[in-house]
Chain A
Amino acid sequence: MRLGILGVALGLIGMAAPVVAHHGFDTEYDAKKRVKLAGTVTEVAWTNPHMRVYIDVAGPDGKVTNWNMELTSPNSIRRQGWGPNDLKKGDKVVFEGFGGLVVESRGSLMYIAKAETPDKPLFTQGGPDGQQAPLPTP
């Protein structure tokens, strides 16, 4: 439960991130390429300038694609309470995001949750309309 709360909180902070983070959203990502997928985490990269979560996703033909999903900076995420034990390699997850303008599997992460608790996000992020995104009632 604690993780869920922090995850939601973290994600809502991220809603404004496209304005103030290292770079904007629409230079890299395509708002029309909304994806909702399930897979297995292969790496949680606490790297600068931005964190990335890599996720293996099997397509309808069984071919596995490793998605490279961008978050915000690890310092910012740490300051919001997310720690190194909250998501790990091997975790089964569901996630949503936006595909890259050119390389679709390089995406912007908008939502990620453990597969067994898909309605309890570990992280949500606003995407292209982050500033104007409607906020859920706490």
Chain B
Amino acid sequence: MGSRLLSRLRNVLAAVVLASAGVAAQGGVTLTREGGVAFINPGSPVVSESEAASRPVPRLPDGTIDLTGPWVGGGAIQDIEANGGLKPGELPLLPWARELRDKRRSQDDPYTVCLPMSVLRTNPYPWTFAMSYTSRGLSHVYKLNELGDAGNHRVIYMDGRTHPPKDEWVPNWLGHSIGRFEGDTLVVDTVGFNDKWWFDRRGTPHTGQLHVSERYTRVNYGTLRLNATVEDPGALSRPVNLTFTARLLRPDARTGAGDIMEFICHENNQYGSAGQFQPGTGRGN
């Protein structure tokens, strides 16, 4: 039994212990405190904390901070209230929304039938920002989730356009996002959502009035911080600020596991078959 493998197992054990204790409390971000391989959530290995803190933050040739990733974490999983850094009961849900959240069952989550997670939600799998340049500079940023947006891509327009008039926009799963850089922080403003997706597995709802402002800051080589402001007069009594943290996926050129991998969610989704129920109805059955 080689020492390297023993070390790896020890690290994994530590990661699992931490994951078991901290998923809900830390926005889904959990890490082994030992050296070597660190895992997040768990499921995806990320760069060690020492590497995250010591290496310089990379920049693109034009000087723009490189936010590419791939990243792991940085959103809600089980409960956006706890994962976003709030105490129990602090998410200012209106009574109808609180009642609906409490009534919903996890098997009705649209995500379980491979529909998108949408904004401020993540899972144990990596995601990346892909930046698209044209002759006029950075025109689009795409947010690509390996798993969770049903193969869809979120478009963030970086060309200075504004949101379309409300009466010309058909509400959709990912909304309409416009972005800009404020220094090294990517600021994304999104409106135009439908109300079909859930913020988390707990079933936290929203309405078509949802307005999300995201601020992504790469605080060091291996860490991306998301500060978000959520407004939804239809579901929340006041705007609320949430904070999430993502970690950089560990490189792995041999297997491709250090990059976004293929994920065809509809390939063989048998969820519900063992329990003989219809998942993902979004209606609480």
Residues of chain A whose beta carbon lies under 8 Å from any beta carbon of chain B: 1-2, 5-6, 8-9, 12-13, 15-17, 19-24, 27-29, 45, 47-50, 52, 68, 70, 72-73, 75-76, 78-80, 100-103, 106-108, 130-132, 135, 138
Contact B44–A19 (Cβ < 8 Å):
no
Contact A16–B274 (Cβ < 8 Å):
no
Top 9 closest A-B pairs, CB basis? A100-B274, A47-B268, A106-B274, A102-B276, A101-B275, A27-B107, A76-B43, A9-B12, A28-B274
Contact A2–B16 (Cβ < 8 Å):
no
Given A12-B12, A16-B20, verify A79-B275 contact (CB < 8 Å). no
Residues of chain B whose beta carbon lies under 8 Å from any beta carbon of chain A: 1, 5-6, 8-10, 12-13, 15-17, 19-20, 23, 28, 39, 41-45, 77-78, 105-107, 109, 111-112, 114, 123-125, 146-147, 201, 252, 255, 257, 261-277, 279
User: How far apart are the CA atoms of A49 and B252 in the complex, in Å?
Assistant: 22
Contact A20–B123 (Cβ < 8 Å):
yes
Q: Total A-B pairs in contact (CB under 8 Å)?
A: 156
A24 proximity list for chain B (CB < 8 A): 106-107, 201
Which residue of the partner chain B has the closest CB to A8? B9
User: From DSSP, what is the main secondary structure of chain B's interface residues?
Assistant: loop
Contact B124–A76 (Cβ < 8 Å):
yes
A70 proximity list for chain B (CB < 8 A): 270, 274
User: How far apart are the CA atoms of A80 and B41 in the complex, in Å?
Assistant: 13
Which residue of the partner chain A has the closest CB to B24? A19
Which residue of the partner chain B has the closest CB to A135? B13
CB distance from A34 to the nearest CB of B (A): 15
Contact A20–B1 (Cβ < 8 Å):
no
Contact A19–B107 (Cβ < 8 Å):
no
B23 proximity list for chain A (CB < 8 A): 16, 19-20
Complex partner residue of A28 from B5, B12, B261, B271, CB under 8 angstroms = B271
User: How far apart are the CA atoms of A19 and B147 in the complex, in Å?
Assistant: 16
User: How far apart are the CA atoms of A21 and B275 in the complex, in Å?
Assistant: 17
User: How far apart are the CA atoms of A102 and B107 in the complex, in Å?
Assistant: 15
Known: A28-B107, A108-B274. 10 other contacts (CB 8 A): A17-B43, A19-B19, A22-B112, A22-B147, A24-B106, A75-B261, A79-B44, A80-B43, A106-B273, A135-B16
User: How far apart are the CA atoms of A48 and B261 in the complex, in Å?
Assistant: 12
Contact B271–A73 (Cβ < 8 Å):
no
Contact B147–A135 (Cβ < 8 Å):
no
CB distance from B10 to the nearest CB of A (A): 5
Contact A9–B279 (Cβ < 8 Å):
no
Contact A49–B106 (Cβ < 8 Å):
no
Contact B147–A101 (Cβ < 8 Å):
no
A5 proximity list for chain B (CB < 8 A): 1, 5-6, 8-9
Contact A9–B9 (Cβ < 8 Å):
yes
Contact B268–A48 (Cβ < 8 Å):
yes
Contact A23–B274 (Cβ < 8 Å):
no
B201 proximity list for chain A (CB < 8 A): 24
Which residue of the partner chain B has the closest CB to A51? B268
Contact B41–A20 (Cβ < 8 Å):
yes
CB distance from B180 to the nearest CB of A (A): 32
Contact B16–A13 (Cβ < 8 Å):
yes
Contact A75–B147 (Cβ < 8 Å):
yes
Contact B13–A12 (Cβ < 8 Å):
yes
User: How far apart are the CA atoms of A73 and B261 in the complex, in Å?
Assistant: 11
Complex partner residue of B257 from A49, A75, A100, CB under 8 angstroms = A75
**Can you list 12 residue pairs at the A/B interface with Cβ under 8 Å?**
A1-B5, A23-B107, A48-B267, A49-B267, A49-B269, A50-B268, A76-B44, A100-B275, A102-B274, A107-B274, A135-B16, A138-B9
A28 proximity list for chain B (CB < 8 A): 107, 271-275
Tell which of A2, A21, A76, A132 has the most Cβ of chain B within 10 Å. Answer: A76
CB distance from B106 to the nearest CB of A (A): 5
User: How far apart are the CA atoms of A12 and B11 in the complex, in Å?
Assistant: 11
